Amino acid sequence: MMMFIVDAMLGKLAAWLRLTGNDTFYSTQLHDDELIRIAKEQSRILLTSDAILARRAEDAGLEFMLVRGSVDEEIASVFLKFGIKPDADPAKSRCTKCNGILTHIKNDEKQRIEGLVPEQTFNYYTEFWLCKYCKSVFFQGGQWTNIEEYMSRIAELMKKLET
């Protein structure tokens, strides 16, 4: 697992890094000085779309990547550079909202998340993942097909970028 800190312009990248199990610090409230301080203190790789911030990270001796292109190109290039497999596995994913660690909730423990999801969702699904920090609940619903298809697209784009 890698540890990243992502600037405010790369929120979608942060979410996909979290979905693939990477510890990803992201906030829209931090200034450049704070991003550099946190990256240094926590040994995080700084991902930024800001050339000035990238230069400051380089001057500070931080590992960083200047990320450019469309959202898909950003994700594919970061995954490629850092050897991240385009595979969103809920058993390894982190909370896309707060970066928290997810706890697998099996059917026999389901009462732990009752009231945290709509009743229909609670009754229909048998597996959930609960964020122990923000209490968000995740499950492999219809959106999961879209996630898997997107990861396939990123894998194809990664192959193109390699050549």
pTM beyond cutoff 0.85: yes
CA distances from 46 to 25, 71, 137 (A): 10, 17, 28
Residues 6+ apart with CB under 8 A from 12: 71, 74, 75
Examine the domain organization and report whether 72 and 152 are in the same domain.
yes
Examine the domain organization and report whether 41 and 120 are in the same domain.
no
Range of the domain at 134: 102-138
Closest Cα to residue 156, out of 76, 68, 74? 76
Examine the domain organization and report whether 79 and 106 are in the same domain.
no
Query: Could you list the mean pLDDT of each consecutive 10-residue stretch along the chain, which spans 163 residues?
Result: 95 97 97 97 98 98 97 97 95 95 94 94 94 94 91 97 88
In a domain, 95, yes or no: no
